[in-house]
Amino acid sequence: MTARIIDGKAFAAGLRARLAARVPSFVEKTGRAPGLAVVLVGEDPASQVYVRSKHKATVEAGMQSFEHRLPAETSQQALLDLVAALNADDSVDGILVQLPLPPHIDDKAVLAAIDPAKDVDGFHVVNAGRLAVGEEALVPCTPLGSLMLLQDALGDLSGLHAVVIGRSNIVGKPMAQLLLQQSCTVTIAHSRTKDLPGIVRLADIVVAAVGRAEMVRGDWIKPGATVIDVGINRVPGAEPGKTKLVGDCAYDECAAVAGAITPVPGGVGPMTIACLLRNTLVAAHRRAGLSDPEGL
Ligand SMILES: Nc1nc(=O)c2c([nH]1)NC[C@@H]1CN(c3ccc(C(=O)N[C@@H](CCC(=O)O)C(=O)O)cc3)C=[N+]21
pLDDT in tens, the chain (296 residues): 799 999 999 999 999 999 999 999 999 999 999 999 999 999 999 899 999 999 999 999 999 999 999 999 999 999 999 999 999 999 999 999 999 999 999 999 999 999 999 999 999 999 999 999 999 999 999 999 999 999 999 999 999 999 999 999 999 999 999 999 999 999 999 999 999 999 999 999 999 999 999 999 999 999 999 999 999 999 999 999 999 999 999 999 999 999 999 999 999 999 999 999 999 999 999 999 999 999 88
The pLDDT value given to residue 295: 87
166 is in an annotated binding site: yes
Which candidate in 93, 119, 121, 204 is catalytic? 121
Tell me if the bond preceding 265 is cis, omega within 30° of 0.
yes
Give the residue, by CA position, lying nearest to ligand 1 atom 16. 269
The pLDDT value given to residue 120: 98
Q: What is the Cα–Cα distance from 32 to 64, expressed in whole angstroms?
A: 9
DSSP 225-250: -EEEE---EEEE-SSTT-EEEE-SB-
Q: What is the Cα–Cα distance from 48 to 30, expressed in whole angstroms?
A: 32
> Which positions ≥6 away from 152 have C-beta within 8 Å?
6, 11
Q: Is 54 noted as a catalytic residue in this protein?
A: yes
> Which positions ≥6 away from 200 have C-beta within 8 Å?
163, 165, 189, 206, 216, 220, 221
The pLDDT value given to residue 158: 98
Q: Do 42 and 292 touch, CB atoms closer than 8 A?
A: no
Closest atom of ligand 1 to CA, residue 140: 5
Give the residue, by CA position, lying nearest to ligand 1 atom 20. 269
DSSP 151-180: HHHHS--TT-EEEEE---TTTHHHHHHHHH
The pLDDT value given to residue 62: 98
65 is in an annotated binding site: no
Q: Do 136 and 283 touch, CB atoms closer than 8 A?
A: no
Q: Is the pTM of this model over 0.95?
A: yes
How far, in Å, from the CA of 274 to the mean position of ligand 1? 11
How far, in Å, from the CA of 269 to the mean position of ligand 1? 6
Q: Give, for ligand 1, the residue of 15, 44, 50, 279 to mutate: max count of ligand atoms closer than 8 Å to Cβ.
A: 50
Q: What is the Cα–Cα distance from 208 to 204, expressed in whole angstroms?
A: 13
Q: Do 221 and 257 touch, CB atoms closer than 8 A?
A: yes
Which candidate in 93, 98, 173, 229 is catalytic? 98
ipTM for the predicted complex comes to 0.97
The pLDDT value given to residue 273: 98
25 is in an annotated binding site: no
How far, in Å, from the CA of 280 to the mean position of ligand 1? 16
Domains in the chain, CATH or no CATH each: 31-120 (3.40.50.10860), 141-269 (3.40.50.720)
232 is in an annotated binding site: yes
Tell me if the bond preceding 100 is cis, omega within 30° of 0.
yes
How far, in Å, from the CA of 29 to the mean position of ligand 1? 32
